[in-house]
Chain A
Amino acid sequence: MAVEIHAIPGARFMDPVVLARIGNLELVARAVVDGFINGLHKAPYFGASVDFAEHRGYVPGDDIRRMDWRLWARTDRYYIKEYEAESNMNFSVLLDVSKSMDYGSRGITKFDYARILTACLTNLVHHQRDRVGFVAFDQDVVAHVPPSAKHMETVLHVLERLTPGRPGSLKAPLHKLAEHFGRRGVLVVISDFYEEPEAVVDAVSPLRFRGNDLVVFHVLDPSELEFGFGDAQPFEDLESGEQMPVVPEAFREEYRSLVRAHIDALTQAFSAVRVDYTVLDTSQPLDFALFRYLNGRLKTMKIR
């Protein structure tokens, strides 16, 4: 089946709505990732994790196996070779499953979109023989799959069974998780970030403390960006249940500018702490997200 799908021309940018209808996450992930990889022809950064990074002076206690003997021969000094990453890195997706994610105006909810994205990323990383893990959280940790090379099915299974239900909060679960991820790795946070930019950064930043690479996907529905509602209607907050009368046509401009300001603030705050931040619109194909992810990874590596 997967062969058939990726053989289809144009499958590369598949509509997320169509993908959501497939249902089987593994199938979806493979379809997307395979098509994505095929489309790249030759990935220059494939296997980048074993690349040499830098030398540093030997300090007592370093593993002498990592000493660069050739350099010692030339310079008569002890240097240790440092590599960019472990060949088998830990990769975990931290997915926000709060109630606000259960919103979609165009056939696919943010949650479904994020779920497919998670599956795709997991699939992609699994292909690289890396260890995949998964954490779902709202105001607390809801599900946790520790990173392992064998855990891709588990992750997909857990993903399948998740449903968003409770109001969310970033700070408490993410701070808890920050202590949990002891080994360096790549952490992907997917959320709609309905909190103040400072609070978001404050919640997310600790994940970087142990040297984790952090990728943040900000998933939003087109309606949340455009606010294209027509008549005056009462709006209900999905998480708090609060209702208020809204006249969209009067609100629209102001709302848009507020959302823009929010995204700008997040972009700025995340870049300040060197976090890769991407806004995803659920109307965009998933390939775009993956592309952005990998592109971001590449850039980061180049900067280093």
Chain B
Amino acid sequence: MSFLAPLFFLALAGLAIPVLLHLTQREKKQIVRFPSLMFVRRIPYQSVRRRKIQHWFLLMVRLAALALIVLAFARPLIERADLPTAAASAREAVILLDTSYSMGFGDRWARAQAAAREEIAKLSASDRGSVVLFGSGAEIQIRSTAERSRLIASVDAAAPGASATRFSPALKVAGAILADSTLPRREVILISDFQRGGWRGEEGARLPQGATLTPVQIQSPADRPNLSVAGVTLARSTFSGQQRVVVTAGVVNRTEQPATGGSLTLEVNGLTVGTKPLAVEPGGSTSIAFDAFTVSAPNMRGTVRVPEDALSTDNTFNFVVSPSTPVHVTVVDRGSAAAGLYLGRVLSIGDAPRFETVSRRPGEVSDDDLRRSAVVVLNDVEVGAPLARRLARYVEQGGGMFVATGPRATWPQDVDALPATIGPPVDRTRGDAARVGALEYGHPVFEPFRAPRSGDFSAIPIYGYRNLTAAKDAQVLARFDAGTPAVLERRLGRGRVLMWSSSLDVSWSDFPTKPVFPVFIHQAARHLAGYAEPAPWLTVGQVLNASAVASTTRAVVRVVLTPSGRRLPFEDEGTEVLELGEQGFYELRADGNAAEAVVAANVDPAESDLTPMDAREITAAAVGGGGTGSDAEPDGVPLTREAREKNQRLWWYLLVGGILLLGTDTLLSNRMAKA
């Protein structure tokens, strides 16, 4: 027996208090007024103090109570090695159970569950356990409980998901649980198939000091077939006005056996539209192209499927195809064929996206034209104030406007919509022609020209341009060699205005005849129209921004229907994000029942690679190289005196005993006073 705070024994001096009280009994009673204390004073003082102690038992009770309380404050602990084992060996066990889809391979999941149950059964009554399921993320199912039935129930209720394996988040969660624990032994039991892909030597996944990591490797023979569809490519084409798609699927054989005899099927909207024979060499891969099919409707759901094998989750690959929607462009020009020749030709080519162009004179632009158009191009025209105001309002409401200022371009002064005021023409036919430089390659319009040899604007001689004075909130994207702005952009309301300070025909430059011209025009039109290519599929674990996906339909997504049929409502504006957790098709719905958009979710193909890693690598990284991993003796970490005292909690019993004795003392003394 020793004490953590022996200084408290000084308080034992307080034991004298009840003795003195007993002896003096200076009870607060009424003062007796006596004529003279002459005689009383003569009685020796000592004889007053030396009174007999009348209530020995009461005194003993009081002394014992005080002594117990003092002992409790001194924090006693028993140092004997054999004693504290029961309490001190209490451990905090965190069971990390891998629920990535690779655990669905063969009987791995059943064996993992059995291993988890076995670990739970090993917990003693004083132990506490937690169950954390992890895939690409980690989720605490049960946190630090001594109820084994709850732990087992949570293990039984778990199932492999669609996510990939990532050990790092799981170890971080386990470390957080252990860090909060007060139990002396802290242990993490990692039940997984330990795929190589799940561990990238992550930093920061370290367990607290003294914690141990016990890996439980769930192995299964690799001789069972395992094919997976690694991905598809969609090749679009237009044939007689119809859009067609050729699907090419990549299939990987992850086993040592050749995969023959099976077939690869393509399903579109639930119907099998193509079947191809499948033959993949051991450890090899192949790509198989299906016949083209017509994209007749939006949100067509396609699935490429290989035959069932030991790991079924990676046997399917989903994608969504929709007819590419054209971008409507209204070109306002003077009506002459020469002026709009190059622009019209450029806009007529391309499939992604397709541009549908209408040409109007300034006076012919109707509200309907503006409503339908994503982009309006002012090709060197004089714009009157009424049209300018309508165009300004159109841009503020989200439209895009491209202004090319040739020799005739005007814009009313009182309508503030352009990125610059249009100045007089600059004639560079004499001397050196002007060159465009200082491009903002970070801007989407010039982004394709970023790489070397991706188009050279400075090679284009410009013989005439308008002297533009940039507005305050305009961004100059390119300048002429003289420093005057060549390309400017300005955000106006929800829309944008892009300005080219020269013409789009060959009257002032050779620009329309250069290779960079179509790219520039297409990029500008896409940028102004806010066009984004829809992704045919996403991977499980990625975050889906529902409002962005449905932006093309301009509908507000209220509900997302998951592949498993759950309805996830979006209550508030701006919260339309969702982490994809299932494999299949997510339907994004507005108020009605029709799907506004469909998103295909696929599992991470890297998870199909079942190549195991050495679990000791994780152990070493998580618990450090000090040999405190699973090989270390669990009891090898000596307990500090504080921890031992904390476990034994002798002070608690002493304090309770002292308080009980004080209560007894009160009862006894009350009873004696009444008697």
A101 CA / B33 CA spacing, docked (Å)? 12
Q: Which of B13-49 contact A (CB under 8 A)?
A: 24-27, 29-43, 47-48
Measured in the bound complex, the distance between the Cα atoms of B42 and A229 in whole Å is 18
Q: Give A221's nearest chain B residue, CB to CB.
A: B35
Q: Which residues in A have their C-beta under 8 angstroms from that of B48? A: 245-247, 250-251
15 new A-B contacts at CB < 8 Å, known A192-B36, A237-B37, A255-B39: A103-B35, A192-B35, A229-B32, A233-B30, A235-B31, A237-B35, A237-B36, A238-B34, A239-B35, A239-B36, A244-B37, A244-B41, A246-B32, A258-B43, A262-B39
* Complex contact A235–B38 (CB within 8 A): no
- Sample of 13 A–B contacts (CB below 8 Å): A103-B35, A110-B35, A224-B35, A232-B27, A232-B29, A233-B30, A234-B26, A234-B31, A246-B40, A247-B25, A250-B48, A254-B47, A258-B39
What is the interface of chain A, defined by CB distance below 8 A to chain B? 100-101, 103, 110, 192, 194, 221, 224, 229, 231-240, 242-247, 250-251, 254-255, 258-259, 262
Are the C-beta atoms of B33 and A238 separated by less than 8 Å? yes
How many angstroms from the CA of A243 to the CA of B41 in the assembled complex?
10
Give the residues from 203 to 257 in chain B that come closer than 8 angstroms, CB to CB, to chain A.
none
Enumerate B88-137 residues with CB–CB distance to A below 8 Å. Answer: none
Contact in complex: B27, A194 (CB < 8 Å): no
- Whether B34 and A250, one on each chain, are in contact in the complex, defined by CB atoms closer than 8 angstroms, is no
User: Which of A101, A229, A231, A235 contacts B37, CB < 8 Å?
Assistant: A235
Q: Chain B residues in contact with chain A, CB under 8 A?
A: 24-27, 29-43, 47-48, 51
B33: chain A residues within 8 A (beta carbon): 103, 235-236, 238
**B35 nearest CB across to chain A (Å):** 4
CB closest chain-A residue, reference B37: A237
From B27, B32, B34, B51, residue with most partner A Cβ within 10 Å: B34
Counting from the closest, the 6 A-B pairs by CB-CB distance are A100-B35, A194-B36, A258-B39, A103-B35, A237-B37, A235-B34
A103 surroundings in chain B (CB, below 8 A): 33-35
Q: How far is the CA of A192 from the CA of B39 in the complex (A)?
A: 13
Assembled-state Cα–Cα distance A67/B39 (Å): 56
- Whether A251 contacts B51 by the Cβ 8 Å rule is no
Contact, CB under 8 Å: B29 / A231 = yes
Residues of A within 8 A of B27 (CB): 231-232
- Which of B24, B35, B42 interacts with A238 by CB under 8 Å? B35
Interface residue from A244, A250, A255 paired with B51 (Cβ < 8 Å): A250
Closest to B25 in A: A232
Task: Give the most central of B35, B38, B41: most A CB within 10 Å.
Answer: B35
Please tell me if the beta carbons of A244 and B35 are within 8 angstroms of each other in the complex: no
B-chain residues with CB within 8 Å of residue A238 when the two chains form the complex: 33-36
Contact A233 B31 (CB under 8 A): yes
A110 to B51, CA, bound (A): 33
Asked if A194 contacts B29 (CB within 8 A), the reply is no
Contacts of B51 in A (CB 8 A): 247, 250
Q: Which residue of the partner chain A has the closest CB to B29?
A: A233
Q: Is the CB of A242 within 8 A of B37?
A: yes
A292 to B106, CA, bound (A): 129
Contact present for A194 and B31 (CB under 8 Å): no
Query: Could you tell me the distance in whole angstroms from the C-beta of A253 to the nearest C-beta in chain B?
Result: 10
Determine the residue in chain B with the shortest Cβ distance to A110. B35
A255 touches B43 (CB 8 A): yes
Is the CB–CB distance between A237 and B42 below 8 Å? no
Please report the C-alpha to C-alpha distance between residue A242 and residue B35 in the assembled complex, in whole angstroms: 11
Q: Determine whether the beta carbon of B32 is less than 8 Å from that of A233.
A: yes
Instruction: Return the chain A residue nearest B24 by Cβ.
Output: A245
CB distance from B50 to the nearest CB of A (A): 9
Give complex CA distance A239, B36 in Å.
7
B30 CB contacts on chain A under 8 angstroms: 233
Specify which of B26, B32, B51 lies most central, judged by the most chain A CB atoms within 10 Å of its CB: B32
